[in-house]
Structure 1
Amino acid sequence: MLYIVSSKSISFITRVATMEKNCFLLLSFLVLFPLLHGYTAFAAGTDDGSEQWGYVEVRPKAHLFWWLYKSPDRVEDPSNPWPILLWLQGGPGGSGVGFGNFLEIGPLDGNLQPRNSTWLRKADLLFVDSPVATGFSYVEDESLVVTTDDEAATDLTTLLKELFNGNETLQKSPLYIVAESYGGKFAVTLGLSALKAIEAGELKLQLGGVALGDSWISPEDFVLSWGPLLKDVSRLDGNGLNSSNRLALQIQQQLAEGQYKEATETFFDLENVISSSSNDVDFYNFMVDYANDPVISTSEGWNEVMMGRDPRYLGAKKSSSSNGASSKGDLPSLMDGPIREKLKIIPESVSWGGQGNLVFPAMAGDFMRPRIKEVDELLAKGINVTIYNGQLDVICSTKGAEAWLDKLKWGDLKTFLSMDRTPLYCGNDETTTKGFVKSYKNLFFYWILGAGHFVPVEQPCVSLEMVGNITRSPNLHS
């Protein structure tokens, strides 16, 4: 086990142990620490060092939980260091430690069985429950929940300083920030925040790149795409298209006037109009109804992502499919049961997602704010930016992603757009096209066919090859 504690906590333990030495010899740190508050950082891990996890107090009484997996497929190559991938979930309020880890890319699936397509084959994986109050992260005062993407990025930068600054091994590995959905807004703001800290000498870290998976970078462009896209695939008729376009244009006007909270309310109205006009199309995969989504319908735990957002999303049904959360089809039961028991450091007062209803309402004023400018800034600084999108997604549609891409002020955009795409296949099988990729200098765009919002789940083979390319993993052929 590895423990990292503050001097304040060590002093406290020493005094108590001196007073009641015989009694405290029977207690382990893992039993004691969940009862304490005020430490800056605390970590534990497996005996073989393959996993580490812990808390970082990023602000007084605000605690981020993280979980790091070291890849068993690591290749030691001094000329091409093994990468670390930081996964940021969406929502806002979705648990990366829960969803990204057990439902998408981690070493074990929701039934605690090995996942053949785990991204751990290409990189070490770092999951963080961010912002605070998400998943196992928590606040001791509800006023400490963040209200903007920038505030969330500041907290994440504090966490990275705690993890990387004193660890030369981690410092040798380039960090790739990979995000899904709303996590994309966190990723670009974190990328810039981390770069600023690196340039100031405050953060010892190599930023390898930022990858935006089906990311909510420009809400305006996405909502304007919904009606035309769904009309083209026959989920809306002319009446539904007119109704959705009217609300999308209202959102466009509200955003132009800086009315971000009002735009969030209209966003809900638009979702409801589309749902009723399409007989409840799935916003994450237009090929199916919401109730039959191949990913979210497998776990009641998805409810935690949408908590405090749209009540329509609180009806995800239970299932025991291979993509599911556990044998009960219930991700909260997995996280607050076997996983909590394994981790041992989760405070008794904290349940997984127990504060999730705080996050979205707090961020309602930033939810519809675009982050195209931040993408431009990353490109201008020479940071590799990858955009990947599932063909069947609605909420962060490829049509919308292409629209905001066209708005970039990056000097090489015209050349990028003029490039031809390269087809993607799965392994050596070139009989079926799995996607396309286009790249120029430090901008990359992947079109992933046959996938909706959750690309790693719906197209695991080509996704794994893609992430190997993104991270420049030395283990490209595993």
Structure 2
Amino acid sequence: MGKCSLLPLQLLLLSLLLCSSSFHHVADAAAGAADGSEQWGYVEVRPKAHLFWWCYRSPRRVDNGSTPWPTVLWLQGGPGASGVAIGNFQEIGPLDTDLKPRSSTWLQKADLLFVDNPVGTGFSFVEDEIESLFVKTDVEAAEDLTTLLKKLYNGNESWQKSPLFLVAESYGGKFAVTAGLTILEAINAGELKLKLGGVALGDSWISPEDFVFSWGPLLHDVSRLDAKDAKKSNSMAERIQQQIAKGQLGDATNLWSNLEIFISSKSNDVDFYNFLLDEASDPLSLTSVESSGKFMMKTYATYLSSKASSTSGDISSLMDGPIRDKLKIIPKNVRWGGQSDHVFSSLANDFMNPRISEVDELLSLGVNVTIYNGQVDLICATKGTEAWVQKLKWEGLNSFNNMDRTPLYCDSEVTKGFLKSYKNLHFYWILGAGHFVPVDQPCLSLKMIADITHSPAV
């Protein structure tokens, strides 16, 4: 275990390059960290299966007595995409991919914990690439994540005082709702000492069926598909729906991949992260890259290795270069992202499995659930998100539906979004944003996370 001082944001670059660490490559527990510090390490969650984590303690953290300073645990998608890289350096962390301070970092409102989840993602790894060690279900991933949290929080009173908010993006939403329930179970059993503050689902792959049904009508409405091809898209979505209903989830994953390929060909490569753009014109998207014959969440887990330029080249060069040198604990035989294909392949039979019932259970248990969606996202389109929300059995749904939305602003009188809330369900519509909401609307995202976490005013 080790740490290095986290200096003010304008000095973070120097800190990144010069700070050193002295702990062994597999760390099993977290020591207390001072305000404005950072820590990282490994937890062996099962024999030969290691999760990597990185935590920043905010230099702005305050304690006003009644409202504790929150911690955000960021869960990336894919499955197989690295939160330590994408969420950290491309979205909400203190430095961007050019290793320059990010003015909109969420570190202003909360401590940030990034985990390369599940094992095999980013710097996380399984020894000898043993196939049986990769998780096969979201629930198995949740169990590993809960094991990591037990190692980090139990015995660490400083961390226990900070409520933990699971904030997810894309496939990370499925991890978040399953992990939320597993964490609560461990807390109630006295096995985990932390307070779960809430779960936030950003453009999350909660109901694959509802998303694939949204694609044809949405793209027809914005003229990226004609009526003939939109009908074909709907026909393929119906077959996916039938396969999911029959439990043929692997077949549904394969047909989902074929549907994305069909839409790309007929729309002249619409960007699945922003339907107003072509893939080639979106700085956060890849041209079509296939992995094991499948698009990985429209190359979500592989886009990270191409378009994100940095002073060291692409993000894989950043992670396997300056970042590896800074961390000093990454085993020599572990290449960042080297096992991500195994992660996706191992989860292929759970990929299309919906998690609406888990959202329902969280709501019934009184957990604060926030849903936020970018207006121009396609892969997890707002139309699909609204559809699965209406399938909730939560007793407050009718009252939620009857609530009026509140317009949202940020530093101007221009409408940036809308919010609807009833009891412990909250829904943000984020205008002008695609799949990566913190990137497209950084100001509103920062205000949103402050509201979600009840971050004390600074």
Q: TM-score, normalised by structure 1?
A: 0.87
Paired residue for 1:376, among 328, 350, 360?
360
Please list, as runs of the form range in 1=range in 2, the aligned pairs for 1:395-434 lying within 5 A after superposition.
395-427=379-411, 429-430=412-413, 432-434=414-416
CA shift for structure 1 position 296: 2.9
Structure 1 or 2, whichever has the larger Rg, is 1
Paired residue for 1:127, among 100, 106, 114?
114
1:66 and 2:53 are equivalent in the alignment: yes
Please list, as runs of the form range in 1=range in 2, the aligned pairs for 1:218-237 lying within 5 A after superposition.
218-237=207-226
Match of 1:451, SS state, is coil
Which residue is equivalent to 1:78? 65
Please list, as runs of the form range in 1=range in 2, the aligned pairs for 1:283-432 lying within 5 A after superposition.
283-297=272-286, 309-310=294-295, 313=299, 324-427=308-411, 429-430=412-413, 432=414
State the Cα RMSD in Å: 2.3
Aligned residues: 437
Which residue is equivalent to 2:243? 254
Match of 2:319, SS state, is helix
Query: Taking structure 1 as reference, are residues 71 and 47 closer, same or farther at Cα in structure 2, changes over 3 Å only?
Result: closer
Query: Taking structure 1 as reference, are residues 357 and 468 closer, same or farther at Cα in structure 2, changes over 3 Å only?
Result: same
CA shift for structure 1 position 382: 0.3
Please list, as runs of the form range in 1=range in 2, the aligned pairs for 1:236-247 lying within 5 A after superposition.
236-247=225-236
Query: Taking structure 1 as reference, are residues 316 and 334 closer, same or farther at Cα in structure 2, changes over 3 Å only?
Result: closer
Which residue is equivalent to 1:153? 142
Q: For 2:346 and 2:40, how far apart are their aligned partners in 1?
A: 27
Match of 2:385, SS state, is helix
Query: Taking structure 1 as reference, are residues 335 and 410 closer, same or farther at Cα in structure 2, changes over 3 Å only?
Result: same
1:217 and 2:206 are equivalent in the alignment: yes
Query: Taking structure 1 as reference, are residues 2 and 31 closer, same or farther at Cα in structure 2, changes over 3 Å only?
Result: closer
2:273–2:377 CA contact under 8 A, matched in 1: yes
Q: TM-score, normalised by structure 2?
A: 0.91
Please list, as runs of the form range in 1=range in 2, the aligned pairs for 1:110-121 lying within 5 A after superposition.
110-121=97-108
1:391–1:398 CA contact under 8 A, matched in 2: yes
2:33–2:57 CA contact under 8 A, matched in 1: no
Counterpart code for 2:407: P
Moved more, 69-78 or 131-140: 69-78
1:308–1:356 CA contact under 8 A, matched in 2: no
Query: Taking structure 1 as reference, are residues 341 and 208 closer, same or farther at Cα in structure 2, changes over 3 Å only?
Result: same
Please list, as runs of the form range in 1=range in 2, the aligned pairs for 1:35-184 lying within 5 A after superposition.
41=28, 50-140=37-127, 141-184=130-173
CA shift for structure 1 position 240: 1.1
Match of 1:214, SS state, is strand
TM-superposition CA deviations, 1:428-451 (whole Å, max 9, x none): x12x10000000000000000000
Unpaired segments ≥5 residues, structure 2: 4-19
Q: For 2:30 and 2:456, how far apart are their aligned partners in 1?
A: 28
Query: Taking structure 1 as reference, are residues 345 and 47 closer, same or farther at Cα in structure 2, changes over 3 Å only?
Result: farther
Please list, as runs of the form range in 1=range in 2, the aligned pairs for 1:434-449 lying within 5 A after superposition.
434-449=416-431
Match of 2:52, SS state, is strand
Please list, as runs of the form range in 1=range in 2, the aligned pairs for 1:187-226 lying within 5 A after superposition.
187-226=176-215
TM-superposition CA deviations, 1:286-331 (whole Å, max 9, x none): 010112223235xx9x979x67742874688955xxxx34125400
Which residue is equivalent to 1:281? 270
Query: Taking structure 1 as reference, are residues 80 and 154 closer, same or farther at Cα in structure 2, changes over 3 Å only?
Result: same
2:304–2:315 CA contact under 8 A, matched in 1: no
Which residue is equivalent to 1:33? 24
Which residue is equivalent to 1:14? none
1:332–1:352 CA contact under 8 A, matched in 2: yes
Q: For 2:387 and 2:60, how far apart are their aligned partners in 1?
A: 38
Q: For 1:308 and 1:66, how far apart are their aligned partners in 2?
A: 30
1:45–1:51 CA contact under 8 A, matched in 2: no
TM-superposition CA deviations, 1:389-434 (whole Å, max 9, x none): 000001100000000000000001000010000000013x12x100
Counterpart code for 1:310: F
Paired residue for 2:443, among 435, 446, 461?
461
Q: For 2:419 and 2:113, how far apart are their aligned partners in 1?
A: 26
TM-superposition CA deviations, 1:45-86 (whole Å, max 9, x none): 999861000000000000000000001111112210000000
CA shift for structure 1 position 460: 0.4
Match of 1:41, SS state, is coil
Counterpart code for 1:232: D
CA shift for structure 1 position 142: 2.9
Q: For 2:96 and 2:303, how far apart are their aligned partners in 1?
A: 22
2:253–2:348 CA contact under 8 A, matched in 1: yes
Q: For 2:80 and 2:303, how far apart are their aligned partners in 1?
A: 17
CA shift for structure 1 position 30: 5.8
CA shift for structure 1 position 2: 3.3
Which residue is equivalent to 1:2? 2
Query: Taking structure 1 as reference, are residues 32 and 99 closer, same or farther at Cα in structure 2, changes over 3 Å only?
Result: closer
Counterpart code for 1:252: Q
Match of 2:434, SS state, is coil
1:91–1:181 CA contact under 8 A, matched in 2: yes
